[in-house]
Chains A and B, each alone.
Chain A
């Protein structure tokens, strides 16, 4: 095969995928950037001459929009509580599973992983039933130990915490598998050496286990953080952002502006604010890791 000649073969392989990716994933980024500086809405969609360039107006308006600021605050609330909980609980499960090397480990690995493969709508329907104030299982179980009924989804702060609980439950699986793979790759000889030096279990955990897993922990923390910043499906299907906008997230705000109010330009602008926050958070994580 003559290499200097134009060769069509590689393009036959990458062509279909790259073309589709370009039209439905890459071009939209450019379109989004474009319309975020316009007032595009439903009438603009029907007639392009109705679209006006508004400069930075959308962005200025966003930071004066109570609803957006609240969604941003809620998102930070989700991240600050949700990320440490999600990372810690999946690490704990992995450490406990790693004590066993038999049916226990393989069975419970599946049990803890299953929530992450199930459909979010089905999950939301089931948990709405569990969280129901009158007929729900949770409040019934609490009543057995004389705890008053909890307004799981009816009070803003409690509702946010309820959604976090649900999301942690659903997201444990993948992180747990990554932690398990990391745990299993730590050489046994490290622990044997520590035993000879008379180290106790906590010493071994903090001086050997955790440092050996620093990359896995970093990877899980970054991906979890990015995921939680885009927290969307849980409030969308469980509460639709309510009560009183108390569970609304930035991602849900973007969806509402785009598809419920058809404010495409305004929604696109909000999506870039979210994107900027994701990038900053990721860079901070990388920076912290370097100083480690």
Chain B
């Protein structure tokens, strides 16, 4: 369908613009408020732009609160999630390009875990971590989220399309299986892996539930758990709360802006039409 004339175009553009402003409003308000001082942030009527822009809240995050520690913990989780993505990719390749005994059975396990709601496994996964002595450890925070069945499934769908002859030719040339995987398969899978890298980064940066359940010591808190604690302890200090939120949100938005092309195209790659 197409628009008939300039007037219609202007109307649709206006609706999109107004909608976009409404959608962005919470972010705009967050950033503006984070630079206001304690008095101004609670003033009625509120000011739009900070009268005396201040960085005090951002400094406080690191000086009086432990946001430095939270940031390092979050980055550790992000790092390991990339390792998890490598394991997912290996599994997707294994399921897509090899024949082995009980393959359907193993793949069925992947599919079943993909369909089960997280709430069903939440309590027993905690009990299993507890039996393994992993509660209140970094390993306990990382392990439950390391493998994503849906990613294995997606990557397998891609791997099936890789021609067998290509792999066979490499084998005839005497290439080892892992050499083939790292030097041939991964470069081939770049478009889909690029999307997965970004989505995995975003998901692990944002991860909240397992750090919350597993971490008891503040030294293991991630940014999101630390932010929830900040809100509990500074109920009316909205400037500080907004600074903490902005510190979590802005980096991810910037990364998304840089790589958004891959994500938008990635939806066509995954074949949902």
Binding site for B on A (CB under 8 A): 1, 3, 7, 9-14, 16-18, 20-29, 31-32, 35, 45, 93, 96-100, 104, 108-115, 117-130, 132, 134-135, 137, 140, 169, 172, 177-178, 181-182, 185, 191, 201, 204-205, 209, 215-216, 219, 226, 229-230, 232-233, 237, 250-251, 254-255, 258-259, 264, 267-268, 271-272, 274-275, 278
Q: Are B273 and A125 touching (Cβ within 8 A)? A: no
Majority secondary structure of chain B interface residues (helix, strand, loop or mixed):
helix
Distance between B114 CB and nearest chain A CB, rounded to angstroms: 9
Q: Are A230 and B144 touching (Cβ within 8 A)? A: no
The contact of B19 among A1, A93, A119, A274, by CB within 8 Å, is: A93
Q: Which of B6-27 touch A at CB < 8 Å?
A: 9, 12-13, 15-16, 19-20, 23-27
Q: Mark B59-99, 1 if CB is under 8 A from A, else 0.
A: 00000000000000000000000000001101101110011
Question: Given A114-B27, A122-B249, A129-B33, are A275 and B123 also a contact pair (CB < 8 Å)?
Answer: no
CA distance A255 to B119 in the complex (A): 8
Q: Are A259 and B249 touching (Cβ within 8 A)? A: no
For residue B252, which residues in chain A have a CB less than 8 angstroms away from its CB? Answer: 117-119
For residue A13, which residues in chain B have a CB less than 8 angstroms away from its CB? Answer: 90-91, 93-94, 98, 177, 181
Total count of chain B residues near the partner, CB < 8 A = 93
For residue B9, which residues in chain A have a CB less than 8 angstroms away from its CB? Answer: 99
Closest residue of chain B to A272, judged by CB? B120
Binding site for A on B (CB under 8 A): 1-3, 9, 12-13, 15-16, 19-20, 23-27, 29-30, 33, 41-42, 44-46, 87-88, 90-91, 93-95, 98-100, 103, 106, 109-110, 112-113, 116-128, 130, 143-144, 146-147, 149, 152, 171, 177-178, 181, 202, 205-206, 208, 213, 223-225, 227-228, 231, 238, 241-242, 244-246, 248-249, 252-253, 256-257, 260, 263-264, 267-268, 272-273
